Chain A
């Protein structure tokens, strides 16, 4: 390993294979690497953790960036950015991808934050694991150049895996990094990365197809869009994003949405949020906990009771007794279970 002593690079480390390899390629040149990972509030793993299923194996929910840092022997600093980040989710300058994912704005946001940390960390330049042509929205040549420019990092941002396809950067021109030892990976095939992983004996990395970002998930995005459209109070970094992952969601009026727990873990999660809200259950039966967001009137409470009955073990009965509770207030409502055709119309 050639030692370029005293040179330090700050990198965005997701824990995926690409960012791990990018860090490793630089470390092979004797460059000291410090990792940054941003906690946006939209990581699927984080949300699954918050749900707290008793049967989840902790290793499956581990933070991959920390795991990568441990394997590489570098510090990965997790930076909470939930509130700031939500602004670009709601109103991204470069638009959303297929769902609520603001991929280009996301990269710009993180790189700007990273740039702000460079001096404190003592870093000479930034790097990412981006691969030219790998992702349709954020990793084509024009997007990479836009991201670099908008983040105010022209010349200072190195993409070691695709460096040979990109203009020479300042770290290369100054001899901090040996360009000849950088790579020319491009496109969607993972073959180059997998071969490199084998060379570096990197065995543990998450599968790329899974993705950790809830904003690329169709259902989650639809529910988030509903929250924004109906001005439901939503605070990133709290249980609010987790709630969008939990249960079946039905919008029963402009002001009222209901969430139906699908199993014991989800019921327990909803139980924690029930204070000050109407909750519905079928007593003495296998029943979901149904939580109402908003303030349902008498008619809506009957409707929600019917939804509750539909997802209880008494769904086949003509008439079911449902208990509705809000703090100290308790009502018993007898209803017929809701029809599936209706539920499909209001499902979010």
Chain B
């Protein structure tokens, strides 16, 4: 042990120690962190947040493709199975012909206008008609060249303004 220390009274030794430590404390109080650290850390914080957000994003990667598949499936179903068309009111004064025999067995109507447009029509009218089979090609329906000249019996759904809304082939 240091003899100089041993010669000092413990209280004096403690007082000197405290005094020197206080000197250091005072000097340290004037020491400040370099100012360049804060902007550097803020930049790192922003980069860290960006990285966290980008890591969080792929968790829902399956959502957009799933939404697209569901939409396509729903639209396909809507096109293949159109909703029930509005039943035309029986209007004695109208030129609508009575439903021909065998109409109960006829297929569904093929929409020529958007379904929303048809659904909003207040006074739709069904009219039975006959036309050359070749006209079916205009609506994108398959027509056999051998039978192109044959007449086709069909029913048209007309709006009050006479606009064809839907078509149903009877034979």
Q: Report if A and B associate in a common complex.
A: no
A residues whose Cβ falls under 8 Å from a Cβ of B: none
